[in-house]
Structure 1
Amino acid sequence: MTFTALRSGGAKLYAKMGPSWLAGAIAAGPATMASLLTAGTSFGFALLWVVVLSAILGTFAQYLAMRLGLRTETGLVAAVERHLGGGWAWLLVADAVLAAGLAQLVIMKGVADISATITGIDARIWGVAWALVLAFGLAGGGYRVAELGAKLLVSAVVCAFIASLFVVPIDPSAAIAGLVPMMPAGLSGALVVAGILGGAVHITLITMHSYTMRARGWTRDDTDIATTDIVASMFVAFGIYSLAIFLVAASVLHGAVSPEGLTHVSASQALGPLVGANAKWLFLLGLWGAAVSTLGGNTVVPPFLLADKLGWGTTVEDSRYRLLLAGFALVSAVGPFVGGSFFPLLVLVLAFGLVGTPFAIAIVLALLNDRRVVGETPAPWTNLGGVVLICITVLTAGSFVRGHLSTPGEPLSAFVLVFAAVLGTATLVVLGLAVRTALREETPRAATQ
């Protein structure tokens, strides 16, 4: 086969893929970048194992969501309402909308701040401008505009950070030592670990997958291309993105920039001796591209879920969905008015989203193991992987939640604790229902043998 034929085949495959790239655009965003930069700056190579694990777990979480979406050929919220009840559907919607909404405000703050740094125009003006671009672009073009933008921006950002590895000296022995699992002491370490995992295994990524596949018109017959789509976007593109950023941060920023003083400007300035006077602008453009791609992908999630719960269409052909999409985009203009540095805020919202993620995974597993929903139960290794995924996310999110137990009177800590208690209880109940369903189905089968 000639190089031209290979290139043509690769281009055709790239064009066929899409739904998981929108999830990858959210995962490979400024929040994940902030977590990775904070991890490398604070702990050197010690958390490399978390970076590798995040790509693996993120890929598997999307695989579970893909299996359920293709077998039900409906939206996740509609499937939950039909088979578990309206109350569970509303709880899933509230969980996802809250996580995506908080992330939207902080991501918009980041996009506006970076735009202000590059242009000198006030960030609040940029917030309004970007909100209008989102509202008109997504409400007018719908899913295809978001998908195309995600694929182009994620590909460009991944290439940019791969290039950085060629000019950054990496200590191989220190990097290999970082593959040995360890958890840094204190709330800051738990927050960073939760932030890294939360970037790859997040409720918004899991809940949106059935809707993006429906927008593409994929059915059960498209399982092979859907699997390839996930591996290419989450494991390959997102994995390389995460590794490149982390290795650069651990090699260059660790010891050169304090974790407390880490900002998009200080991070870019630390790269100056390596890549020259244009380091700041190269870094800011990479961060800007990641932020814009995430902003577009994240904007479509709450409208997908709310429209599905209300029985509306989930494409711009339904004017009600279009209004939801435009409204959520416009509300994000509030982001630049949020106080604080957006790097720490990004890590916090990822960790917060991780708290609500085990519930979404439990919902997916419960439906996948109900023959009335999918007609066939998954292979044992799939269920084992799902249980491991829940355990890891619970343990990681639990470390973050435990850090707030010492300050239950503070509004943020109280909110995190209540949120964790509600979603933790709901996760246990859903898993209990799944086990009961499995036993009920196994009993008649055993009686006939």
Structure 2
Amino acid sequence: MAVADSIRSYAGKMGPSWVAGAIAAGPATMATLITAGAGYGYSLLWVVVLSTVAGALAQYLAMRLGLLTEQGIVGVVEDYLGEWWAWLLVVDVVLASGVAQLVIMNTLASVSATITGMDAWVWGVAWAAVLALGLAGRGYNLLETATKVLVAAVVLAFIASLFVVPIDLGAAAGGLVPALPGGSALVAAGILGGAVHITLITMHSYTMRVKGWTESEYKLATFDIGASMLVAFGIYSVAIFLVAASVLTQPSLSTVEAAQALGPLVGENARWLFLLGLGGAAVSTLGGNTIVPPFVIADKLGWGTTVDDSRYRALLAAVALLSALGAVIGGQVLGQLVLVLALGTVGTPFAIALVVYLLNSPAVSRPTGTLTNVGGVALLLVSGALAANFVREQIAGGVNPLSGSVLAFAVLLGLAMVGLLVKYARERFGRGSTAVESAS
């Protein structure tokens, strides 16, 4: 009974990890899951399941840093590493989330146009205005409430789609056995990259600060992560993947085209459920992503990170309104997501390295356990390998201004991580030497 009471109590108070989960459960992740299911059948189901665990672990590490320092991540980095490191993190976050903002708006405008028949640019302006008025007017509390409702509705929509799409349970069970079919490595990297992303890691400390959470809410914050990333995001990912693996056979489909293709294959019910789920995911993701650049910029400039500070409110409104430009991009969403994936994948290892370093520094109020550190290092190695593979893939196609920019940024962040490792080693070695000298 006590456990049930605790769960009911936590369920009414959770929120920050749902905002992060809403970004994870967005069009980029959906596009990657569709590509994986349509191109390789059920064989990558194990990667989908693994991604939910990895995403939850990344959020847990970010949660520990936010709760145990009671600061935003940029402020902690500046206090314990210096201003240069803080600015590098801000640039990393703004690039990844800014480009994602435009592509997500393009997806949302395309879905809205498909459903209503109105031009996509009209929907882009309308959704940007809704974002600006809603977020700048009501702030985080409105976003959190809308996010929980939308994510729950999206999960239910995709669960419902499983009942109208024929699933081969035997083949799906076989997909839980780790294996990588030929040519699937990049797609598998995309699935993992959608759950472990720099925007999700960096925003978590700020959303918890807005909620007023401190170290005393540690159990609540942990429950929040489990409910949103492991349960809600996990169901979302598995459901989309199973639908795509069951009935789609064209890996080059965009997310909107995949929804349209479901109509003649398994009926209009599945098509509309998929479209509504895609639209809801795009709305919740766009709202969550909008607050990320203002959080880190305001923190670096010493501003408040709530709408009570007029400077933060103006910055939030500006980001929301600028996202309307994404609606005029046009073209295939999957092609545009290459850039989003590149910047996100390249930038994520640096954010993880900072979090792991800070969790083992005087910045936190309690020591980090061995198991947590092992998980953090494993995440760093996996995300680093994904980033290296992606950059190598881009360069293999020839160095152009885009791939060259990605390469230059990757090299800069790689050098920064090497510097961070050297700094940590010197600090540990220095403490050890001091202790030996004192004992002698």
TM-score, normalised by the number of residues in structure 2: 0.95
Cα distance in structure 1, aligned partners of 2:63 and 2:89:
17
For residues 300-335 of structure 1, what are the alpha-carbon distances to aligned partners after superposition, in whole Å with 9 as ceiling and x for unaligned? 000000000000000000000001100001110100
Distance 1:92 1:352, change over 3 A: same
| Corresponding residue for residue 14 of structure 2 | 17
Are positions 1:286 and 2:286 aligned together? Answer: no
Mean Cα deviation higher: 346-355 or 207-216 = 346-355
Q: Which residue of 1 aligns with 2:387?
A: 397
Q: Which residue of 1 aligns with 2:121?
A: 124
Figure out how many residues of one structure are paired with residues of the other and give that number. Answer: 439
Q: What is aligned with 1:67? A: 64
1:334 maps to 325
Task: Report if the CA contact (8 A) 2:80-2:363 is conserved.
Answer: yes
Could you tell me how far apart the structure 2 residues matched to 1:308 and 1:29 are?
26
Question: Could you tell me which amino acid in structure 1 is paired with residue 57 of structure 2?
Answer: F
- Alignment of 1:207 onto 2:202: yes
**Structure-2 separation of matches of 1:442 and 1:17:** 42
Matched, 1:358 2:349: yes
Give the match for residue 297 of structure 1. Answer: 288
The partner residue of 1:260 within 232, 235, 252 is: 252
Residues 385-394 or 415-424, more deviating = 415-424
The reply to whether residue 306 of structure 1 matches residue 297 of structure 2 is: yes
8 A contact 1:38–1:192 mirrored in 2? yes
2-side partners of 1:443 and 1:69: how far apart?
31
Give me the whole-angstrom Cα distance separating, in 2, the residues matched to 1:107 and 1:98: 14
Do the aligned partners of 2:72 and 2:299 also contact (CA within 8 Å) in 1?
yes
CA spacing shift, 1:278–1:240, aligned 2, 3 Å: closer
Is residue 227 of structure 2 the alignment partner of residue 236 of structure 1?
Answer: no
Matched residue, 2:102: 105
My pick for the range that moved more, 44-53 or 136-145, is 44-53
Aligned to 1:222: 217
Q: Name the CA distance, whole Å, in 1 between partners of 2:146 and 2:70.
A: 25
**SS across alignment from 2:395:** coil
Contact 1:32–1:347 (Cα < 8 Å) also in 2? no
Which runs of structure 2 are paired with 1:26-45 in the superposition (5 Å)?
Answer: 26-45=23-42
**Cα distance change of structure 1 residues 262 and 326 upon mapping to structure 2, 3 Å threshold:** closer
Task: Give secondary structure in 2 for the equivalent of 1:259.
Answer: coil
CA gap of 1:183–1:417, structure 2 versus 1, over 3 A, is farther
Structure 1 residues 212, 202: closer, same or farther in 2, change over 3 A? same
State the 1:118 CA deviation: 1.0
Cα offset, 1:193, TM superposition: 2.1
Aligned-pair distance for 1:178?
2.2
Is the Cα contact below 8 Å between 1:193 and 1:396 reproduced in 2? no
TM-superposed CA distance for 1:245, in Å, is 0.7
Residue by residue over 1:353-388, the C-alpha shift from the partner in whole angstroms, topping out at 9 and shown as x without a partner, is 011100000000111111x21143311111111110
Call closer, same or farther: CA 1:448–1:234 in 2, change over 3 Å: farther
Q: Distance in 2 between matches of 1:437 and 1:227?
A: 30
Report if aligned partners of 1:31, 1:347 keep a CA contact under 8 Å in 2. Answer: no
Q: Shift in Å at residue 86 of structure 1?
A: 0.3
Normalised to the residue count of structure 1, the TM-score between the two structures is: 0.93
Paired residue for 2:431?
Answer: 441
| 1:149 lines up with 2:146 in the alignment | yes
Paired AA for residue 222 in structure 2: T
Give the counterpart of 1:246 among 238, 241, 246. 241
The AA in structure 2 aligned to 1:267 is: A
Contact 2:27 2:282 (8 Å CA) reproduced = yes
Matched, 1:318 2:315: no
Residue in structure 1 matching 2:88, options 84, 87, 91: 91
- Please state how far the C-alpha of 1:434 moved relative to its aligned partner: 2.2
Residues 191-206 of structure 1 aligned to structure 2 (within 5 Å): 191-206=186-201
Mapped partners of 2:43, 2:400: distance in 1: 31
Assess if the C-alpha contact under 8 Å between 2:357 and 2:424 holds in 1: yes
Q: Paired residue for 1:346?
A: 337
d(CA) in 2 for partners of 1:329 and 1:268? 29
Paired with 1:9 and 1:386, the residues of 2 have a C-alpha distance of 28
Whether contact under 8 Å (2:158, 2:273) holds in the other structure is no
Deviates more, 1:66-75 or 1:346-355: 346-355
Gaps of 5+ in 2: none
Q: Within 5 Å, which residues of 2 pair with 1:156-167?
A: 156-167=153-164
Instruction: Give SS of 2:112's match.
Output: helix
User: Which letter maps to 2:55?
Assistant: G
Residues 34, 343 of structure 1: 8 Å contact kept = yes
Q: What SS is found at the alignment partner of 2:303?
A: coil
Query: Cα RMSD between the aligned structures?
Result: 2.0
- Whether contact under 8 Å (2:254, 2:332) holds in the other structure is no
2:68/2:215 contact within 8 Å kept: yes
Secondary structure of 2:172's partner?
helix
Contact 1:206–1:360 (CA under 8 A) maintained in structure 2: yes
Residue of structure 1 in register with 2:76 after alignment:
79
* TM-fit CA distance, 1:272: 4.5
